[in-house]
Copies of this chain bind each other. A is one copy, B any other.
Amino acid sequence: MTYEIFFKRHLALIEKKLKTILKAHEAAPRSIHKAMQYAVFTGGKRFRPVLVLSACEACGGQFQKAILPALSVELIHTYSLVHDDLPALDNDDMRRGKPTCHKQFGEANAILTGDALLTFAFELLARVTPADKAIKLLAEISTASGTHGMIGGQVADLSDAAGKKTLTGHDFISRQKTGQLIRVSALAGAISSGASSHQLKKIEQYGECLGLAFQVVDDILDKDGYCKVMSLGGATRKAMELIDQAKDAVGILGAKAKGLNFLADFLMKRIPKK
């Protein structure tokens, strides 16, 4: 079964809600809202919000309960792409076959669009009820997105040329830059479901392994990163082991974790056969 079919209901909810919240958020000046919408609707897989909803289900909650944190992490992911694409960073002209945000709207607007997506991501968390759940989500998501997580990884990736040549350095960068937002996506779903501390621990283990695996698989497909600090075979084994560990962590949750297992298998299938 394809990703799109398996997660049909999750994806439909995510697309619909992204559209409605961004539409409802429109105000003068219109241009920034158009740019936010442009950046959000570029045909991505919605891996992170799907993961939020699936983790919520895995802990016994209805996936709809986790929609606000799901949208929030997708907006944070989107802002990070908009800023990463900027001339001063990766200087990318195209993303998924479309001009990048700064190519389409200019550099100043792209900087502000990223800022706006990040700000709106936190504004959405303020709508979560009850308040203590909202605050837990805010604490976890902000930490994972900041200098102890995604931004820290991005800075290390830009600045630590020596570290990048080592496996330890690569692990650090990958866990921070890519892994933390995926880890916290899983965790946010669990928090939304009102998971027990045991469930939270298992889901977090899953998210940590899956997050690092995500980057290793990306590097294998790009023949970059991990393929340069270890052999292709070594990177492949590393990815497979991490994916197995992710599935093991949530084995105890039984059939409810079928979405999480599907996501892990989905990553596994992306690894090229020898």
Contact = CB atoms under 8 A, between A and B. Distances in A.
Per DSSP, are chain A's interface residues mostly helix, strand or loop, or mixed?
A: helix
Interface of A: 25, 27-29, 31-33, 36, 79, 83, 86, 88-89, 106-109, 111-112, 114-116, 118-120, 122-123, 125-127, 130-132, 134-135, 138-139, 142-143, 145-148, 151-152, 154-156, 158-160, 172
B148 A27 contact: yes
Nearest to A153: B29
Nearest first, the 3 closest Cβ-Cβ pairs linking A and B are: A88-B107, A123-B142, A126-B139
A143 B114 CA distance: 15
B111 A155 contact: no
Contacts of A86: 108, 111
A120 B142 contact: yes
Nearest to A138: B126
- The quantity of this chain's copies bound in the complex is 2
Contact of A123 (B27, B33, B139): B139
Contacts of A32: 147, 151-152, 155
B88 A111 contact: yes
Contacts of A148: 25, 27
Given A108-B89, A131-B132, A116 B83 contact: no
B122 A28 contact: no
A33 B147 CA distance: 8
Contacts of A83: 111-112, 115
Contact of A131 (B131, B143, B146): B131
A29 B148 CA distance: 9
Nearest to A145: B119
Contacts of A107: 88
Given A29-B156, A86-B111, 10 more contacts: A27-B152, A79-B115, A83-B112, A88-B107, A88-B108, A111-B111, A112-B158, A115-B151, A123-B146, A127-B139
12 contacts: A25-B147, A33-B147, A88-B106, A88-B108, A88-B111, A89-B111, A109-B155, A115-B151, A119-B145, A122-B122, A123-B143, A131-B132
